[in-house]
């Protein structure tokens, strides 16, 4: 990590949920993004969205990028959150040695309904926001983001 604001960086202890259980480390949060909206796309008396309705007040993604001083690695933590009865949060945790690996972990293939050439990758909004925020705090991530933006 090449922290842009290194003299002011303070490390703290984090515990994150992973598919293997809790993971605790010392480090700093570099960036965060979410797709959550404060309102629902369905009537308030309906507790779950009807079939075919994507409600980001009921289900959303939270993306957090950390620098772990315990591991000397970036940690990308992506959580699919849900308040729909019977559903559970889903976790994806990536330990990355390099800033390039952080970007790679945040890229996805476009949804099937999007007519994109094969091999096309995109950066979803919550991932992009987390990466942009991390780029303000980490020079290596800033360089990778600039390169991605120049190429896309």
pLDDT at residue 4, rounded to an integer: 47
pTM of the model: 0.84
**Which residues does the chain have with pLDDT short of 50?**
4-5, 7
139: left (phi over 0), alpha (psi -120 to 50) or beta: alpha
pLDDT recorded at residue 9: 67
**The residue count for the chain:** 152
The ranges assigned to domains in the chain are: 9-151
Distance CA 80, CA 62 (A): 7
Residue 115: what pLDDT? 80
CB 91 within 8 A of CB 19: yes
The rounded Cα 109 to chain-centroid distance in angstroms is 15
Residue 102 has a CB neighbour count (10 Å cut-off) of: 28
Q: What is the Cα Rg of the chain in Å?
A: 17
């Amino acid at each position: 990590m090449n922290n842009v604001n290194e003299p002011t960086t303070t490390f703290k202890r984090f515990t994150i949920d992973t598919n293997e259980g809790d993971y605790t480390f010392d480090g700093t949060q570099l960036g965060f993004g979410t797709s959550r909206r404060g309102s629902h796309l369905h009537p308030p008396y309906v507790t779950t969205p009807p079939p075919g309705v994507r409600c980001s007040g009921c289900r959303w993604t939270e993306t957090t990028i950390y620098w772990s001083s315990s591991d000397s690695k970036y940690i990308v933590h992506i959580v699919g959150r849900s308040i729909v009865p019977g559903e559970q949060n889903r976790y994806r945790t990536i330990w990355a040695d390099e800033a390039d690996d952080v970007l790679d972990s945040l890229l996805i293939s476009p949804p099937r309904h999007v007519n994109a050439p094969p091999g096309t990758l995109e950066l979803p909004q919550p991932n992009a926001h987390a990466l942009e925020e991390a780029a303000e705090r980490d020079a290596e991530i800033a360089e990778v983001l600039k390169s991605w933006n120049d190429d896309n």
